[in-house]
Structure 1
Amino acid sequence: MITIRPAKYKERKIIVDFQKKMASETEDLQLDEKQLKKGVEAVFEDFNKGIYYVAEDNNKVVACLLTTPEWSEWRNGTVVWIQSVYVRKDYRGKGIFKTMYNFIKQMVEREDDLKGIRLYVEKTNLSAQKVYQAIGMNGDHYQFFEWMKSF
């Protein structure tokens, strides 16, 4: 049975590994492990940065995601961003992300100061886009733009 829960600090190495795999699979990026490790640890050290959640099957972590807060003055509350989603290959297609998403959605529905959920997806990641549409999310409202310094 799959259970969803906040990640524990001792699981940071698993999360680092998942994030390296996700970057490689989705964007063909090879992340600097030392920098990534510091970034993951920073989340555990400061919950204002976000919260990692994991999916567990028989005490084995099989997926993770990171939620980060965005203040919305229009809604006078926080929008939860889902990012850094990774599901082990041998667990894909089994509804793991849907289970994780529903866990986050129920949290948002329970807490008055939480107003919604957003995520972004690589334009070429069509399989992920299909999953997000299937669980009731839409990509119709906003176009995402960014500028990032080089690694």
Structure 2
Amino acid sequence: MKVRLATIDDHERLVEFQLAMAHETEGIELQLSKVEQGVEAVLRDSKKGSYFVTEINGEVVASLLTTFEWSDWRNGTIMWIQSVYVMPRYRRRGVYRSMYAHIKSMVLSSDEWHGIRLYADKSNHSAHRTYENLGMNQDHYITFEWLK
């Protein structure tokens, strides 16, 4: 199992994963061209974020996106994990655990990074258990949003 930074060569697989994740977790059918453009935008501009993928025997089987939030309280950056997807046949095999360990080690080895945050759909109890088993806890914030 190898976790690595995604490259433009991973574009098609990342798009597949985003479409599958939206369908599985929220029953949403995303617009293919928007997702293709959105994934490419991140791959071409690291200021937007970074995708990481996990390979097993040379096959990309999982991905996640990291984005960044400045914290004036900490005078540093919080890394957000988003868009997590693991192919169904590779779930419950430690794939996400490896990805999380990779991200956590990046945070621990840097003075700039001050923590990791993520959000999960309220009804995705399986994801909640996974994150709790890795030592994450639900924070005291409630997320509000307005989306165009």
Letter of the structure 2 residue corresponding to residue 12 of structure 1: H
| Aligned equivalent of 1:11 | 10
| Paired residue total | 148
Question: Post-superposition shift, 1:144?
Answer: 1.1
Tell whether 2:31 aligns with 1:21: no
Letter of the structure 1 residue corresponding to residue 38 of structure 2: G
Letter of the structure 2 residue corresponding to residue 126 of structure 1: H
| Aligned equivalent of 1:145 | 144
| Aligned equivalent of 2:73 | 74
Question: Post-superposition shift, 1:140?
Answer: 3.2
- Please list every run of 5 or more consecutive structure 2 residues that lacks an aligned counterpart in the other structure: none
| Aligned equivalent of 1:97 | 96
TM-score (norm 2): 0.98
Aligned equivalents of 1:142, 1:104: Cα separation in 2: 22
Q: How does 1:62-141 map to 2 (within 5 A)?
A: 62-141=61-140
| Aligned equivalent of 1:56 | 55
Aligned equivalents of 1:140, 1:50: Cα separation in 2: 23
Question: Post-superposition shift, 1:141?
Answer: 2.0
Letter of the structure 2 residue corresponding to residue 91 of structure 1: Y
Letter of the structure 2 residue corresponding to residue 107 of structure 1: M
TM-score (norm 1): 0.97
| Aligned equivalent of 1:32 | 31
Aligned equivalents of 1:94, 1:112: Cα separation in 2: 31
Letter of the structure 1 residue corresponding to residue 51 of structure 2: Y
Question: Post-superposition shift, 1:80?
Answer: 0.2
Same amino acid, percent of matched pairs: 51
Structure 1 runs, 4 residues or longer, greater than 6 Å off: none
Q: CA RMSD in A?
A: 0.6
